[in-house]
Structure 1
Amino acid sequence: MAHLRLTWVLSGRGWADCIVSDHQAEAEVTASYITAAPEDLLTAVTRLIVGETECRAQFEAEPTAFRWIFYREGTNVWIRLLELADGSDHDNTGTEIWSTQQNIDVVARAVIRCFDEVVREYGESTYRGKWGEHFPRTELEALRTAWREHRGDWAATWTSSNP
């Protein structure tokens, strides 16, 4: 059974801890508000949903960076999470700290659920006060809209290729 869980916890002014897990492993990464980490993650998943085959998002932890690399083939998504000594480093210099293969629908639901939980727990005003930037409402709603519009396409593709 598919399982993907993502949590975003505001751990201090301008800092967040992100925990990602599947049925086999878990990783915890840190993000700083110096970059648009939540917006980048939401946008990368939205781009996957609308058909891109490779997307990236990066969290800066000053000086460490955590790079999310998404590869999509059909309805499958392979996610690699790398830790890099510096955010400008090439992927090849990073250490893979977590990876998973999931259905695109599972990925979209996990990311949407994560940020729905964030806004439920903190509210947009408290989020801004703790993170230092606005809650990524525009990016979350763009992801939600893309997911709703493309879910039927995936079901049709899967059904026709798996009679």
Structure 2
Amino acid sequence: MSPLTITWTLRHHGWAFCTVTDDQSEAEVFASYVTDGPEQFLRAVTRLMLMDKEARAEFEGEPQVYRWLFRREGTDADIRLLRANNSQTPDNSGVVLWSSRQTITALRRAALRAFDQVTHDLGEEGYASQWGRPFPRAELEALRAALHTIRDGHRPHPMDGTPRA
């Protein structure tokens, strides 16, 4: 598995560019603030950390959408980033822009670094002003806490995904 880097860059009001890179390839997609793309992305990574087998997130690109598909296999995640015509387009009709197999830990680290860098560069108020929505603090902290949930020996209940002792 090759190193994973994710960057989230606000370039224009209400528009962000997300770049994902490993040693094999790179893809850049954009997202509009009209949906909660960053929150979906962070929640998806958190769900993988908490042992969900699959998770997904979608960035609205107006008119196309960019879909992150995650599949857990043990401690690894198969990741696919697709471009689809719209949110109703089936996954199998989307164009794969990037794919990689990464450890879930590497995916978690890359996601945290991406949004920690945003707060370092812009601050939460600057982010909200430039993006048009509040910074996804709750989702970022839930991802951070997911590691502690696993380390403390709590595993999610298989029926509902909530951590249990």
Query: If the length of structure 1 is used for normalisation, what is the TM-score?
Result: 0.91
Once the two structures are superposed, residues 24-56 of structure 1 have per-residue CA deviations (whole angstroms, 9 ceiling, x without a partner) of: 100000000010010000000000000100000
| Equivalent residue, structure 2, for 1:15 | 15
Following TM superposition, by how much is the alpha carbon of 1:143 offset from its aligned partner in structure 2, in angstroms?
0.2
Amino acid at match of 1:149: T
Once the two structures are superposed, residues 73-110 of structure 1 have per-residue CA deviations (whole angstroms, 9 ceiling, x without a partner) of 11010000000111221001100010000011101011
- Hey, what's the Cα distance between the residues in 2 that align with 1:29 and 1:16? 8
Q: How does 1:42-81 map to 2 (within 5 A)?
A: 42-81=42-81
User: Does the CA contact (< 8 Å) of 2:79 and 2:99 recur in 1?
Assistant: yes
Match for 1:48: what amino acid? L
Q: What one-letter code is carried by the residue in structure 1 that aligns with 2:82?
A: L
Amino acid paired to 2:14: G
Offset of residue 152 of structure 1: 7.1
Partner Cα distance (1:61, 1:5) in 2? 21
Percent of residue pairs identical: 49
Q: Which runs of 5+ in 1 are unaligned?
A: 154-163
SS of the residue corresponding to residue 16 of structure 1 reads strand
Moved more, 11-20 or 144-153: 144-153
- 1:108-140 per-residue CA deviation (whole Å, 9 max, x = no partner) reads 011011100011100011100000000000000
Question: CA shift at 1:11, angstroms?
Answer: 1.3
Number of the residue aligned with 2:135: 135
- In structure 2, runs of 5+ residues without a counterpart are 154-165
CA RMSD of aligned residues (A): 1.2
Aligned length: 153
Whole-Å Cα distance in 2 between the matches of residues 99 and 106 of structure 1? Answer: 15
Secondary structure, counterpart of 2:62 in structure 1: coil
| Alignment match, 2:103 | 103
In proportion to residue count, which structure has more helix?
A: 1
